[in-house]
Amino acid sequence: MKTNIVSVLAFICSLNLQAYSNFIENPYTPYPPGCATLPLWQGFYGDYTKEFFVGKIELLDATRQGYSQTVNVRAFRVGCPEENRSVVMLEFTLPDDKDPASTYYGIPEVSAQYDKGLLRRSDSMRLSAEPNHWGSIEPAGDMQVFGAETRNTAEGYKRRWVFILDNRTPRLSAPDESYMSPADYNQAFTLNFASTLHPVIIEVPSTASLFEGSWRIPLSGRLSGNWVVEGASDQGFVISVSELVPDAAPTSNELWDSPLVMFLSWYTYDVNGDLLWLTGAAQFAMGDTEVTIPIEDVSNGEFMGDKTADRKAVGSVTITGNNCNDLTLQYNLSDIGLGSGTKHLERLFSLETAGYVCRDLEARMATK
């Protein structure tokens, strides 16, 4: 039975159960949004990245009719903590003999073909540079340009692009348009490329054929909220994951390299049973699955006053992301007589913040 530390939140949070109209992300995404970070950072999954295609394709030039260019392509699935869930990604790189400052490529439109009962389905998909965002609503808007139109980075013109295979966003003119479900996305299917000189077909294997277990989730704002330890009555955690806002407008590289910060506030009791307020904050890099936070005891403050409370370093905690509703807490508070140990943190009622989802559409619907 969950702790009743903030049982009043049950009513407040329940108001968000039907807040699907508030989602700021694409509700039709076929993978758990919390599983994906920016594609270029997705490689940290190690053994949970399974490559299934390496080859070359001839892309038709987006600006010059009749011209084509060779591009190297690598396709892979990245496993998610949720059972039988993964993210399909495609990497495009320029051949070494191509000059990206003078070469243009149109990113091809793609479609997924698969069996749905007795029918053979073909759904238009899109290659997204960011996870589960709305993107463009028109096919032409999904076309992007490689080469000189991209920003010149510190290492020279960009030579590598990584995209997530995602559903198209809803079109107002076609409300009945079909979308690939998470179940279909995780089964074997065929990926067809358009805008290529020759037909290109990639056979995508099922998630279950590549991954046997689950792994960790990248720490992100989706994990912000109220957390408790099962059986620990009248105590818990408030955790916030935020981006650090730079003093000046960042360059394109600095924007993606900006660190994140986790703030933790722990409401508990000391060895005498008196109230104890512990806090801490630490920076970490995008894509990290755990962070170690130095912990301070906050005391001797003043109600609604300007007096600065006393703070004393008392230990540390390490937070690890397991899935949307499960974190691991490793703590060492031996300096104040509370010892050390490992606990699982779980969300109250397994709810996400309205407008900021963590699980995929099918998993969310299953909870209703």
Give the CA distances from residue 159 to residues 122, 163, 270, in Å, rounded to whole numbers and listed in that order. Answer: 31, 14, 56
Specify whether 64 is located in the same domain as 159.
yes
Which segment of 39-43, 151-155, 352-356 scores lowest on mean pLDDT? 151-155
Q: What is the pLDDT of residues 30-62, one digit of tens each?
A: 988 888 877 666 655 556 889 999 998 887 776
Q: What are phi and psi of 114, to 5 degrees?
A: -160, 165
pLDDT at 239 over 70: yes
Q: Check whether residue 192 and residue 56 sit in a common domain.
A: yes
Mean pLDDT of 82-98: 84
User: Residue 249 pLDDT > 90, yes or no?
Assistant: no
Question: Is residue 114 over pLDDT 80?
Answer: yes
Per-residue model confidence (pLDDT) at position 256: 55
Residues 67 and 184 in one domain: yes
* pLDDT-based confidence at residue 196 (cuts at 50, 70, 90): confident
Domain-terminating residue out of 162, 177, 204 = 204
**Residue 224 sits in a domain of what CATH number?**
2.40.128
Q: Is residue 256 domain-shared with residue 329, that is, in the same domain?
A: yes
In a domain, 20, yes or no: no
Q: Does any domain span residue 242? A: yes
Q: What integer pLDDT is reported at residue 51 of this predicted model? A: 92
- Which range marks the domain in which residue 297 is found? 9-14+218-366
Statement to judge: residues 51 and 200 lie in one domain = yes
Question: Alpha-carbon distance 201 to 57, whole Å?
Answer: 10
How many domains does the chain contain in total?
Answer: 2
Residue 169 CB contacts under 8 Å (≥ 6 apart), including other chains: 26, 28, 126, 134, 135, 136, 137
Higher pLDDT, 74 or 61: 74
Structural domain ending residue among the three candidates 151, 176, 204:
204
pLDDT-based confidence at residue 15 (cuts at 50, 70, 90): very low
Mean pLDDT is lowest, of 11-25, 57-71, 177-191, 331-345, for: 11-25
Q: Which residues have CB under 8 Å from 282's CB, separation 6+?
A: 261, 262, 291, 292, 293, 294
Give residue 13's pLDDT: 34
Of 171-185, 192-206, 298-312, the range with the lowest mean pLDDT is 171-185
Of the candidates 257, 235, 262, the one whose C-alpha atom is nearest the C-alpha of residue 246 is 257
Do 331 and 354 lie in one domain? The reply is: yes
Whether 218 contacts 321, CB under 8 Å: yes
* Residues 6+ positions from 212 with CB-CB distance below 8 Å: none
Question: Quick one: 159 and 184 in the same domain?
Answer: yes
Residue 88 scores a pLDDT above 80:
yes
pLDDT surpassing 70 at residue 271: yes
- Domain closes at, from 173, 204, 235: 204
Q: Which amino acid type is present at position 141?
A: G
Q: Indicate whether 274 and 164 sit together in one domain.
A: no
Average pLDDT, the chain: 77
Name the pLDDT band for 137 (thresholds 50, 70, 90): very low
Taking 3-state DSSP, the helix, strand and coil percentages for the chain, each rounded to the nearest 5, stand at: 15, 40, 45
Quickly count: other Cβ atoms within 10 Å of residue 215's Cβ: 18
User: Residue 54 has what pLDDT?
Assistant: 95
Task: Decide if pLDDT at 149 tops 50.
Answer: no
Q: Which residues contact 227 (CB under 8 A, 6 or more apart)?
A: 236, 237, 238, 239, 327, 345, 346, 347, 348
Domain assignment present for 28: no
pLDDT band at 221 (very low <50, low <70, confident <90, very high): confident
pLDDT above 90 (res 113): yes
- The answer to the question of residue 145 being in a domain is yes
Of 136-150, 231-245, 333-347, which gets the smallest average pLDDT? 136-150
Q: Quick one: pLDDT at residue 145?
A: 42
Taking the CA atoms of 216, 217, 220 and 221 in sequence, report the sign of the dihedral they define: negative
Q: Is residue 26 part of a domain?
A: no
**One domain, residues 44 and 173:** yes
Question: Do 182 and 298 share a domain, yes or no?
Answer: no
Residue 164 and residue 226 in one domain = no
Residue 367 confidence (pLDDT): 43
At residue 183, the pLDDT reads 92
To which H or E segment does residue 366 belong? helix 361-366
Do 107 and 146 belong to one domain? yes
pLDDT by residue (tens digit) across 296-313? 999 888 888 888 888 999
